[in-house]
Amino acid sequence: MAEALPPRIISRDDSLKRQVGRSTLDTLLQMGFPKQRCLKALAATGDRGVQLASDWLLSHVNDPRLDEDVAREYILYLCPVGPLQKQLASYWERSQSMCGWNSAHNYFPHMTLCSFFKVEDRKLGVLTKAMESVEGFLNKAPGRLQLELFAQKSFIGLMAVGNYYDFLEGLVSQFASYVRSAGISMEGLKKSLHITLAHQHTSEAHQKLEKLAGEIDLKADVRWDFRLYSRDPQLANAEVYRVIKPYQPTLEDELEMIEGDYIFMTPGQSSMDGWFKGTSWLTGNMGVYPAVFTQRTAETWIWTLHRSHPLSEASKAITNGAAAIDGEGDYDNLWATDDLYAKVVKKKKSQEAASTTTDRKPRHVFVMRHGERCDFVFSRNWCDKCFDGRGVYTRTNLNLPRVMVKRKNYKDFQRDSPLTEMGRCQARLTGEALRDAGVDIAFVYVSPALRCVQTATEVIRGGGYRCKLHVEPTIFEWAGWYKPTLPSWLSPDELVENGFPVDPSYTPFISTRNINPNESVEEYYNRCASFTRHVHRKHTPEGGNILIVGHAGSLDACFRQLCGKAPRNSAEFHEILSHFPYCCLATVTEDPHTKRWLLKEPPIASVCHGGNKVFCWKVLQ
């Protein structure tokens, strides 16, 4: 019979109360931001968490419209993802290069499902629930969406044909019914379903554009995503320009230009000297700027993506709110969405930049694979040999953990394996080598897999580092190996209870529920690359080296795009994994002058050892 719990005297000390389930809005309010500003920041960033919203607020402190209560404009799109989308993006670039700008270039490839509708910032949660309400409907998609090329005098596009209209009408109707119940006015599905390839172009360009459109393979593989976007009303019919060269203002009315920022302005402005009046998307500041430092781009790059769900059988959401997608024609890269809003200008940014000296030390990012794991040494059924029916652990080999981590269900170890004792030793030796080489580690990010948390713990103990571990689901390995569901990981609080030096207050870049088990290898690369860029920018002000402890694939996925290379295809990815032994360490270094990242030789040697067979004493008989 289980022992009864002793009676507890209830403490009246309010400081001991745990704050459970606090919303992002509550956290921002506690930080001291006014409620209207908090709501505006959450809507502008797609409600992606405290860090992004607070960054947005800090960057917009001088925005003259910051305290205006103006409803944002929302719209539903059906967007292609995959090979067809890449062909469409290529068409966009080639058509602009060959025939100049036309109105189709103001948007990325999409199919408009409804007209813009306005929603007050305080009702943002209604839209989130409306998107959740249609998830079941998305599973009823009637096969492949067929497209047909259509051209007339001033329009070229791909028209939807077949029986998809009724399905999409029902989908939009269900969404609209939900938001109307909350007092939001919204129309139903548009009558014409199409992707605009060219519109309002010159008659001289029509034949070239039609021929170019005919080269698109309409049978190419594609996944269609049902997406909710929003935009600031200021962007309606605005001309948007991307900053391609930074500029520091010299006069009071000039606008500071940050590379990668966007500037929007009223169309049709004239200028005699090449200076135009515009508004910075990153800061909300207005001023005049030199047009020669900008390049015309699509308005949709600075919209906000709130939710995206794929149309397919047994589909699931693949993102939980994100900013509009950055990249040249790569808007399906959902893991890179934070790249835009992460470029917000922090307070005193220009002063920090001015204080940068020529003798600044280069920064390093290290990515390390975890140590030896139990299931790879003792087979995947090792749990059945080490745990009895009550979950009591028995150590049957000296290389098994001396003390097993405590968790609710021991069967979770089968998909979330711990390290062997040899694995802990490998990690500790690596930490000691980093210490002996004089390598300082300021920040540590770790995959939620138990073997990675244990590896990072041994590294910082062996190296004598005092930094806490930030558990980051974004750097978990390729989710395709874990279909249909990801492993059950120990929570940060549970890891702390087991003695791991984890920071339980850390908010992940991407939460566990937003990792798609059906992701492609390319989406995995984008996920890891986006996080690496994020932590690099996050810690730029204070500097310091960063250690990421992940999996074999992490060494390539976290660095490859940072160093200017494209993601590997599936075959290349699986082939290169065999080259990454336990506790191997990869290093990239930032050039303090050019800001470019280069792959460098690691500062320490590798750890390797021979195999050791299981000893059977009976051979001596």
Q: Which residues are catalytic?
A: 369-370, 551
- At residue 550, what are phi and psi to the nearest 5 degrees? -140, -130
User: Given CA atoms 458, 461, 467, 468 in this order, what sign does their dihedral have?
Assistant: positive
Six token digits for residue 609: 């050892």
The dihedrals phi and psi of 516, each to the nearest 5 degrees, come to -90, 115
Q: 451: which 2 tokens?
A: 């073997």
Taking the C-alpha atoms of residue 576 and residue 369, their distance in angstroms, rounded to an integer, is 14
Beta bridge partners of 363: 590
SS3 63: coil
Taking the C-alpha atoms of residue 510 and residue 523, their distance in angstroms, rounded to an integer, is 14
Q: What backbone phi and psi angles, to 5 degrees, belong to 207?
A: -65, -40
- Judged by DSSP in three states, 510 sits in coil
The answer to whether residues 167 and 142 touch, using CB atoms and an 8 Å cutoff, is yes
* Pairwise CA distance, residues 248 & 125, whole Å: 39
HSE-CB at 469 with a 13 A cutoff on CA atoms is 30
488, HSE (Cβ side, Cα atoms, 13 Å): 9
213/94 Cα distance (integer angstroms): 10
- Tally the C-alpha atoms within 13 A of residue 600's C-alpha that lie toward its C-beta: 16
How many whole angstroms separate alpha carbon 154 and alpha carbon 371?
62
Q: Which residues contact residue 367 at a Cβ distance below 8 angstroms, ignoring those fewer than 6 apart?
A: 547, 548, 549, 550, 554, 555, 558, 559, 585, 586
In three-state form (DSSP H/G/I as H, E/B as E, the rest C), the secondary structure along 319-368 is ECCEECCCCCCCCCCHHHCHHHHCCCCCCCHHHHHHHCCCCCCCEEEEEE
Query: Which H or E run contains 310?
Result: strand 304-311
Q: What are phi and psi of 298, to 5 degrees?
A: -75, 145
Which residue type does 6 have? P
- Whole-number Å distance between alpha carbons of 368 and 558: 10
In whole angstroms, how far apart are CA 201 and each of 90, 104, 155, 198, 325? 18, 9, 8, 7, 26
